[in-house]
Chain A
Amino acid sequence: SQQGEEDPQALSIQEGENATMNCSYKTSINNLQWYRQNSGRGLVHLILIRSNEREKHSGRLRVTLDTSKKSSSLLITASRAADTASYFCATDLNAGGTSYGKLTFGQGTILTVHP
């Protein structure tokens, strides 16, 4: 079963609008990471938020983490057509043994930003 589940599966907005994507997970995490994937390319890391952090910013990106609800959100402000991509959350479980440091990815949100 997927550790991370993104919502919505697809999001279509106009340039200049904000885009919010959500990620829910099931078990305790060490950190949660957001990645972006352009069509036909590999994933690119955006932000890492640790379990003891509640919010992080990077440029137009804002990530929040609510460990009590086991959820995270990625907000892209003032979106641009170039933000069109798939966005994935990945959880790094708070576990030892064979799970240590491995990422579990959700299925992603496809974001389309119309010019």
Chain B
Amino acid sequence: DAGITQSPRYKITETGRQVTLMCHQTWSHSYMFWYRQDLGHGLRLIYYSAAADITDKGEVPDGYVVSRSKTENFPLTLESATRSQTSVYFCASTGQLRQPQHFGDGTRLSIL
């Protein structure tokens, strides 16, 4: 089915570990986004991508790395996880900027 899927849905890891969150969309949307959602902060943009091999920082990029070798995939990597990165992470996509974004169901990440 067409859509945007995130995996895993839940992840528990330890500080200092590397963890990668996956995002896959089937619409061939050019633009993809990673957000984190925390109580008291709403959704904050971590990174975004305008096309394959084009990525840029958002509001809170520190500690995160992204790549986009294929249009449909946009993985987010925490290189050395910290407790402050415990959050719910959402991936989104859109075919055009200034149009609605389509969201995945999120990954709930806990860092112990």
Contacts and interface: CB of A to CB of B under 8 A. Distances in A.
Contact of A107 (B42, B90, B92, B102): B42
Given A31-B98, A42-B105, A102-B58, A107 B40 contact: yes
B15 interface: no
Contacts of A41: 105-106
Contacts, number: 54
A105 B43 contact: yes
B74 interface: no
Q: Mostly helix, strand, loop or mixed at chain B's interface?
A: strand
A88 B100 CA distance: 13
A30 B102 CA distance: 19
A43 B97 contact: no
Interface of B: 4, 31, 33, 35, 40-45, 48, 56, 58, 90, 92, 97-106
Interface of A: 2, 4, 30-31, 33, 35, 40-45, 48, 88, 90, 92, 98, 100-108
